[in-house]
Each structure stands twice: as C-alpha cells, then as structure tokens.
Amino acid sequence: MSERDVFEYALVRVVPRVERGECFNAGIIVYCRARSFVAARTHLDEAKLLALDPGADVAGVRAALRGVEGVCAGGEQAGQAAGDDAGRRFRWLIAPRSTVVQPGPVHSGLTTDPEAEVERLLDLLVR
C-alpha cells in the first residue's frame, strides 16, 4: 500500500452579489504539505452565475478564477506570490475576502495522489 499523506482543500465559491450571500462552487484548491503540492482547478457554470445575477461580469469572474489557478501554478502566473512556497500560496488563497470569488472553509483528508484529489473533488463538489 502506498504512503498516504494529509492534504487540505477549500472550495472556490462565486458570490455574484456579496450583499445577498448567495453562492455556488466554481473550483477547488488542494494543498499537500508533505509533497509541497498546491493546485487549483475551476469550472464556471455560467447559467448559475447569470441566474443569480443577470448583470454579472462573466469575463471578470473567469479572470478571477484563472488568477486562483495561476497563483497555485507559481512562476510568473502567480504575480506577487511567484516566489512563495506552496503552503504560503495556499494560505494566501484561503484568506477570507469579500469579493465575488471567495474561498470556502478548509477541510482535510488523506491521499496517495494529491493531483488525483484535485480532479476527484472538482467532479464531486463543483461539476
């Protein structure tokens, strides 16, 4: 049996009108300290977004979701977080914010393959 490592994850939520508090899941961020791994995958359900806010800035929401993926990827895509380690990028992304794209609470689990967890959780909780 392969060694299992602790991982943490948070949903990425879209809150089209912050004052109403309505939201839906649009991505997942997974962090595994033991493997210095952090990754995000997003999936925007445009119909849900427009149902909650017909005037929503779809392109702006997509750009914010791409930004979350970019910070996880590191390098130039991460902007100011480019030089940070995986853990620091994860902690920055899960910090509470009052914007249209927000992190949900952090949960944990065990895995032998953090990359597979990203896809599994995206299918289970977002798509």
Q: pLDDT tens digits, the chain, 127 residues: what are they?
A: 579 999 999 999 999 998 888 999 999 999 999 999 999 999 999 999 999 999 999 999 999 999 999 999 887 776 777 788 899 999 999 998 878 999 999 999 999 999 999 999 999 999 9
pTM: 0.92
Residue 87 lies in a domain: yes
Residue 64 lies in a domain: yes
Residue 109 lies in a domain: no
Tally of domains in the chain: 1
Residue 76 lies in a domain: yes
Check if the beta carbon of residue 65 is closer than 8 Å to that of residue 100. no
Check if the beta carbon of residue 73 is closer than 8 Å to that of residue 41. no
Residue 4 lies in a domain: no
Which range marks the domain in which residue 41 is found? 12-104
Residue 112 lies in a domain: no
pLDDT given at position 63 = 94
Burial of 113 (0-12, 13-18, 19+ CB in 10 A): middle
Q: Given CA atoms 9, 14, 19, 22 in this order, what sign does their dihedral have?
A: negative
Residue 63 lies in a domain: yes
pLDDT given at position 1 = 54
